[in-house]
Structure 1
Amino acid sequence: MTSEFGWRRFGFFTPSVIFSKENPKEKFSGLKDVAVDCWCSSGGSVYLGEAKGGVFQLTNQFGEYYWKAYQKSLASLHSADKYLFSIGEDDDTVNTLLKIWDPERVEKNTPHVMRTIRMSPLNPTSSSPACSIAVHSSLHAVVVGYTDGTVLFYHGDVLHDKALNSRWVKVRDSSVGEGAVTGLAIATLPASKTVVFVITQKHVYSYVLENNKTVVAHKKHDANGATADCWTFDESTGQLIVASREMLFFYDADQCIDVDGEVGRCLQLGRGFEKLQLVACGQYLALLTKHHAVIQKAEFMTMLTVYDVKGQYIGFSCSLPELCRLFVAGNTMLVLSHDGILSELVEKNLATKLDILFKKNLFDVAVLIAKNSRDGSDYLKGIHAKYGDYLYGKGDYENAIQQYKDTIGMLEPSYVMKRYLDSSKIKELCIYLECLHDAKKDNEHQTKILMNAYAKQGEKKKLMEFVNKIIDGSRSSRMRDVFEILLKWNYLPEASLLATKFAMHEDALNVIIHHMHKYTMGVTYISKMPIEDVIEMAGKFGRDLLIHAREDLMHVLWEQIRANTDSKNNFMRLFDIFMGDMDASQLFLSYVLNQTNGEEQDQYINLILEYHMRSFKSQEWSEERLNDDIFRYIHKKNEDVVLQMAQLFDCTPVIEHILMKSHRAKELMLYHHKKKDLDAIIKLCQRSSPEEKNRLWLDALTFIGKNATADDEQVIIDLLEEIEASEAVHPLVVLELLSKNEHLTISSVKDYVIAWLRKQQIIIDDDRKTIEENEKSMEELDSTVESLKFNAQVMQVSKCSACDTPLQLPTVHFLCKHAYHVHCFDSYTDGSDKCPACQTTWPNIANEEISYHKFQKELSDAPNVMELIAMYLQKGLFDEKKKTRKSEPLRENSGGLQRAVSSNTNPFDDDDAATTISRTMSTASSNMAPAYRQRSTTNRKDDNSTNPFFNSDASSSSKKNSYDESKNPFGEPSKSNNPFD
């Protein structure tokens, strides 16, 4: 029980006198001298009943309407829906009438009476009149009480059922000692149960009816009873409030069903004072109590108090010097004094109320008021924020956080969180963050803070419950943060399970392998994943698994590769995990190669080659191993790629193999030059083809000339032996290139030079013998030439050298003793003046364009260049390229033999040979003698006297000899400019 004096008092209402509508300056006096014995309200209208049978209707606009309901007396009024129900009598006999009025239908200034029920015959055992009535708002239940305590109940259509005149159920028998029934109330409950409250002057009862026919239970409550004006009932909540002298009792209909249930509660409101009237208006209870006057001259005074039972405060309190009546019109409480002045209690708006409370720091009351107000939700969060600040300032952090919880959605969470970041307030911070999460107003940062707070407190149970809330709330976006926090605080099994549940495979394996060190479990986890994930996860964690669970991992990989041979998955990514483990890598690659083909196999081959070349320098490689592990995988398609890898990892054998295989010795030589590897250079020259040797030896000598040292003497001696044997480079060129190195000594080239000089001496001796032999041949040739020049030549050939038939004029004769018919000669030549039988193929070859390129190639590749040039000179190649000889052969016709010789442009012939000579054989001897100028018979190789076609007779030519004889150094001394004469 709560004492009235402990309740706080506020002025939430303002009394206001109502003025007349017709004359606003005058007070409303329409109810003056009205003695109100009963009343009820319906909508915006109030019905006031007089004991003599009159009824006043007061509308919400304070319009008044009066009619005579009963001729003798009026005992009770009740409104349901839009209808008005009344109990009274029209004559002096005991003949109580129940009338049902329709106020909206007025006939002859009186509301229409829909039904009239005589109540006395319904209670034949008693002659007491009815004095109280209650009707359910559904208009399907009505209860009537009598002055002797009898209570009758009817269930059915109150407006239309004919049984209303007869079929009533007696709820309570008469009890003369209890007095008259002063109040009735009907409450309907589920399961076809109805509770009827009966109030007498001494007690309060509740009766439970089943199926609206039988009373199955009744209970006598502890209230001492009340008068007709000191109780109120709220049909919507089923709550009955009864005011006795000491206190107010509160009863709920649903608590009356159980026999052993609660009997209600009570409050000590208006304790010790006589209760005059109790009225309910919304959330308030208005109580009129009778007090002894102290200041006023009157003996008694009336105290009006408005209570908020839920908030447990007094919203208004004032004293009235005289007796008055209190009733409710809509949501307004009206006070009628005995002199007819009508006043209303105007409730202040919510904002004004809250300002009053804030000034007094009564935030708890403000919260209650806002909760019970229609528009209070708009203010509620702000009130909690102020209340929280107030409590926080007083150091009541625990209660403050309870207020801050209710600010979620209005107050910025960071405002609250920064106040509770201290470790001593971490518990309250968790409470706030929990509510923030439940309201789904938190973010990832706040989730992290809450989980870290749980972990810091060691609240593993709460932490896991919170994690389950996140999971059940389908907030999978937070799983990453949750996982990281679990991992941070070493909740490893929980972290791995969370990652597994949300398919965070990499995180789960990270925990299992790197933190829990359960390697076999990690392999099992990987084996149950799709092939794409198997490749990815094995690539990331395979190195650790290969060390600690080698056999399990290899078994899983073999099974996956075998099962997915035809898939497009790139198993090459798995190769990285075997780096550094030769046995495992070879086993893996060999297995994969056997399971793949085509382009995919080529990729694995490149990977194998790369792997071997990465480990090339750290291992010893034999020639056999190079062939088995590297060379056999190199082919035309991957040759360039492998060469690049070999250059990157400096794998000299691979570079040599590829460059030599593709005939790129020049590139290999440059590679050895950069590495300054003299031995490799020499070996390269030895292995090269004959076509490349000359160029490579020159490159090698160039390199030695720049980089060799005195320590390389033996290598240079070996090199010179190779060069001497191959005769690829001229010794003078060798000495020239080696002479550029200041570190080499004569001893390096001594043996080579001596050997070369010996060979040259042998060649010189051979050449001298050849010269002597040639001189003899020249002398014989000179004799022949002299004979051709100065002696007549007899042509005794009788058959054509071409067709082997007797010659017939015209014919062609050559000094080489061949003769031809003219038509045979023209058939076997292409305009040339040479004998077809003696003509060689060299001039024709020289005229072709390809011969020049052939000569250049032979010149660059020849071991002895001078010998090649001498051979071409001997064959007359250069003579034919510098002249075009068009000479007519000797032709025999009717005039004799004729010969036309064109000018000779050969620089090796005398200028006399350019003279054109024409003569006949019959006059040859006589014409040649006087014209011939005897020349020196000095035995020289370039003397034109040896030319079989030379003729010095210039007298018969119309052209002058262009050769200046004075310039001949071998002429007569008097005409010669020879400096040696």
Structure 2
Amino acid sequence: MPRSVVLDERGVALHCGAVSEDGDMAVGQSDAVYFYTPEERSVCFGFEGDKKYLGFFKQYLLVAHVDPRGRHQVNVYDLQNKFIAFNWTLTNTAKIGAGGGGRFGDDAAEEIRHVVSEFGAVFVLSSLGYVYRLMEIDTTSKLDILFRKHLYSIAISLAFSSNYDLTSIMDIFRAYGDHLYQKGDFDGSLRQYARTIGTAARESCYTKLKDVKKLDSFLLIDDEQTTDDAPTTVDTRKQPKQQLTFDVETALTVLRDYYPTHALALAKKHHEHSWYLKIQLDRIHSETLSDADHARVQDALTYIEGLSFAEANLNLRKYGRTLVTHVPGPTTELLKALCTGRFHDSNGEKADPANFLHLFVSHRAQLREFLEYIVHVETVANPQIGNTLLEMVLSDVGRGGPNAAVDDLDEEHDEGGRAPGGGTASTSAAKNEAAVLALLDNPRVKYDEDHALILMQMHGTGKRYLYQKLHMYHMLVQHHMEEGDNVAVLEQVKQHGESNPNLWLLALKYFSEKKGNDPTYTHLQTLLSWMDSSSKSLQIPPLQVVAILSQARDLPLSVVRQYVVNQLKQDQIHIDKENDEIKKFKQDTAKMRAQLTTLSSKAMVFQATKCDLCSHDLDLPVVHFMCGHSFHQNCISETDRECMTCGPEHRHFVALKTSLETKASNHELFFNQLESATDGFNTIAEYFGKGIFKADDPMMAQLGLGDEHASEARFSNEY
């Protein structure tokens, strides 16, 4: 028999003893909780209070006890990580010994009767009949609570015991180091950061420690673990068996200030092109560069030339302004190649020149050289290119400097080159005008015409070309008038006057007031003769012409006499023609009235001997129509009630009449036609002639036609 050993002489209350998963006995006493192994007493935990229940749930120790104030509590202890996972005090009360109303009696505190762990939860039964369920939250929520309380040591222990992945645990070490760093405990933060060495989390530690001069110490610790040179711990480390993992951008952020050479090597190795150029060019601030700075700028340009088309396009837009400032010639040539498909890796792709215009701020000469080359080689669809170049050319012309005219932009405009030095002012102005016109007429140049017109009006050059191109003939004639070019005015009016009748009136007023420049009014007489010969197509009332000419007080009657006489003759011819038509219509009307009278008052004799349909001799039965046509009865349908010969024409007139009656009720259509017509009287006459108006039509009153015109309207409607 093995000899028994008494480990403790004290007993234990009911439900205050339990066995853990490891086989250890836990006993709850009033002063502490004691653990026993089969051989000896083990650890104890000083949990004071009268124990009511003791048990285990997963890795937790459940203890229900009474505190010194007599309140029942439930505590959940994480023995492995040494912290209280849960603490709860029962605070409910109930009246005991109360009367019928329940208003008097003693307050009884809620007590714990039993604790059970089942179904993944802990159930607590109280003396008031309540059952409470305690659920374990997930590890992430636990860690969030510990982080808020800055209990990082416990959080690290919990993460390890919960088998968290190494990356997440390193993040906790880093967060712990950040907390100590903010508190000013740099040595403590250094110890926590040191635990992240060898992982991707360490790069973010560089940024923190370099500001407090602890970076060297950190690199030394890193060096002890990796046996590499400290300044090149990131970019020059060579491990034949294992490649070090780190965040390249974070490393570049740290190294660019203290170790720019190593940062450049790292960026080049990992193809971080933007970082390479940023390190080289961000330190360039002054206009005057040292030899070292100039070498960096030149190296950056060479580096871009070796990139792919997409990368070169992207980085030139970002860093091109610095390059244009310090190496304008080579940079402009590189941009030309990029925008015309001559870049080594373009594969036919071409960059949009408009994306690089902002690079040439304060570099006007290079911008003009760039744009002129583009429009000379390529057909650019972006109007921003043409607008910018046109504005530059006009500005140079206005300044009259050495760049007062553009180079040849098209072979057909070679004569419009630069004005030679020493020429007269008129010759220079003419050549400048030709240069602007060459640019406007260049088929490779696309520009916004409205924008170009504004520029032309501001600088006074090239307006005639744009007026002609935009069909702004009114402005073109006005421009010729301002320049006093009477011949050009007459040419434009004669060429475009039919589609723009107002040009005749504008020229008429202009020439009637030009006595000083044209004493004999030769141009006015020429204009009037053209208007006289084209009066039918122009539709300009002679009274309007006379009204305009009457405003010129010095204009002699002899100038206008022939025009007025010719117009009166034409009007008389027109009146005679209309009178002839009126007589003819009256004769036709009288004839039709006589026919109506005959049909209504006299018998009609049908003398036709042949059928008008089959052309055979008429045999009874025969059908005669009042129009004079006769048919065999079997040649026409029994349902036909009209002549087969006159029927289609009759139906046409009936449909036309119905349409006119419908049109008569559409007053809005009539007034729209009246408003848009060049001669409103003709529109009203047409409505009267077609019998659209009726005597009782309300539109008659709107037109001012009262009862005195009722008979004429009724007559028009009847016939």
TM-score (norm. length: structure 1): 0.29
| Structure with the bigger percentage of helix | 2
Greater Rg by CA: 1
| Structure with the bigger percentage of strand | 1
Higher relative contact order (CA 8 A, sep 6+): 1
TM-score (norm. length: structure 2): 0.37
